[in-house]
Amino acid sequence: MGTKQQWDSAVDIYNEGMGEEGDKLNNNLIHPTIRKILGNISNKTILDSGCGSGYFSAEIAKNAKSVIGTDFSGKFIELCQRKYKYIQNLKFQMLDVTEQMPFNTETFDIVISKMVLQYVKDILVFAQEAHRVLKSQGHLIIAIDHPFNTQFYFAQKLTGSNNPKYQTLSHYFDSSAQTKLSLWDKVELTWYPKKIEDYLSPFILNGFCLNSIKEIEEEKQNTLIPRILILDFLK
């Protein structure tokens, strides 16, 4: 099954699991940092790229000037359009992040990509397009699984205290596709491991400056592990 079909098949599970507020991982680890970077968004035009079930797009639309949520899954977009048709300043449309965006140059104040790019093999077009559609001084905010997460579990495995629930990658430099039971152990999803360099270089090469970086830890088995990486780029 291709990644698009995998995500199409996960729409109901994702929508139910996230609800209208997000799961624990999002609420405890991801949203507080993103909200802090966003600051006051009352006059901001925002693109939520890879919006999934749309709950976060809808939440930020409450305070933003306008929000567009995009996703390559037509099923997610149909769901979002149905759920949030009453919100005037929020629109959704189908879009693959590996393709050119149908938006004019310098349209958005902020582009958000929350927990998407680990599932995308090549993020170069996204880096180019995000830069093009952002206004000068615009922010690109990216949240992804921390690339070191799998290395922690691999190290644990080596010491004999393996937790079979977690994916281990024996080689930090191995970028081959991996498939793992995800979304609360309900759906097989393919992800493309990337090094920190792979997440930074395409954006810096395309003219972004790294404004801030946040490594968010999670406590597992009495140990703090690197769980989420948040990158805030400035055009």
- Residues of this chain that interact with ligand SAM (CB under 6 A) are 3, 7, 18, 50-52, 56, 71-73, 76, 96-98, 114-116, 119-120
Residue 136 Cβ vs ligand SAM, minimum distance, rounded to whole Å: 25
Dihedral over Cα of 96, 98, 99, 104: its sign = positive
Residue nearest to ligand SAM (CB): 52
Residue 2 Cβ vs ligand SAM, minimum distance, rounded to whole Å: 10
User: What is the full DSSP assignment across 152-186?
Assistant: HHHHHHHTT---TTS---S-TT--S-EEEEETTTT
Residue 163 Cβ vs ligand SAM, minimum distance, rounded to whole Å: 22
Helices (H), the chain: 3-9, 11-18, 24, 31-38, 55-61, 74-83, 124-133, 149-158, 196-205
**Phi, psi torsion values for 14, nearest 5 degrees:** -65, -45
Measured from the CB atom, the residue of 156 and 203 that comes closer to ligand SAM is 203
Measured from the CB atom, the residue of 157 and 175 that comes closer to ligand SAM is 175
Measured from the CB atom, the residue of 26 and 156 that comes closer to ligand SAM is 26
Residue 92 Cβ vs ligand SAM, minimum distance, rounded to whole Å: 11
Measured from the CB atom, the residue of 90 and 97 that comes closer to ligand SAM is 97
Residue 189 Cβ vs ligand SAM, minimum distance, rounded to whole Å: 8
Measured from the CB atom, the residue of 116 and 225 that comes closer to ligand SAM is 116
**Phi, psi torsion values for 158, nearest 5 degrees:** -60, -30
